[in-house]
């Protein structure tokens, strides 16, 4: 799976976003280690804070299907520059993806920022922090 194809899938996914409040569709495409792609969209709610972002939707779809090994993520929205994932999504990516995993942030103009999970959230709180407290 080419990174270009993954970004195209993120753009295509946007058509299924449920965004009656923001009218801001976001799409994500998460590539697993064995070559499967999970698409995700943002899903809003009348209680605004219950909104789930595209990135987390894709991650949670994969994890709930038993896929836990990931190779890359693409995210797309109609933004001036490459779309920037929110803090909650960065924390969820840090939970399930390797720090070095590539993340392709893009927009409808074709701007691309290629980054990684650890660049998106340096110093993430992690399972290792919990293990330290549970020693003894
Ligand atoms: O990276 C992002 C940024 C925002 N949103 C969604 C959340 C909300 O539905 C809308 C506006 O914030 O965009 C995402 O899905 N991913
Ligand atoms: Zn988010």
pLDDT given at position 77: 98
pLDDT digits 0-9 by tens, 87-136: 999 999 999 999 999 999 999 999 999 999 999 999 999 999 999 888 87
Given ligand 1 and candidates 54, 60, 79, 107, which is best to mutate, with the most ligand atoms within 8 Å of its CB? Answer: 54
Atom of ligand 1 nearest to the CA of 43: 9
What residues are neighbours of ligand 2 (ion), with CB under 5 Å? Answer: 53, 86, 89
pLDDT digits 0-9 by tens, 41-94: 999 999 999 999 999 999 999 999 999 999 999 999 999 999 999 999 999 999
Judged on CB neighbours under 10 Å (0-12, 13-18, 19+), 86 is: middle
For the chain, give every domain's residue range.
Answer: 3-133
CATH topology of domain 3-133: Cytidine Deaminase; domain 2 (3.40.140)
CB-CB contact of 99 with 129 (8 Å):
no
Q: Is the CB of 57 within 6 Å of ligand 1?
A: no
């Amino acid at each position: 799976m080419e990174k270009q194809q993954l970004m195209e899938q993120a753009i295509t996914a946007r058509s299924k976003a449920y965004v009656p409040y923001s009218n801001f569709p976001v799409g994500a495409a998460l590539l697993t280690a064995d070559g499967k792609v999970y698409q995700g969209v943002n899903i809003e709610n009348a209680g605004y804070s219950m909104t789930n972002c595209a990135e987390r939707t894709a991650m949670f779809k994969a994890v709930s299907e038993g896929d836990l090994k990931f190779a890359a993520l693409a995210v797309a929205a109609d933004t001036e520059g490459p779309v920037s994932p929110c803090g909650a999504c960065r924390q969820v990516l840090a939970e399930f993806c390797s720090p070095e995993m590539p993340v392709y942030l893009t927009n409808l103009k074709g701007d691309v920022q290629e980054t990684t999970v650890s660049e998106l959230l340096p110093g993430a709180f992690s399972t290792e922090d919990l293990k330290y407290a549970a020693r003894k």
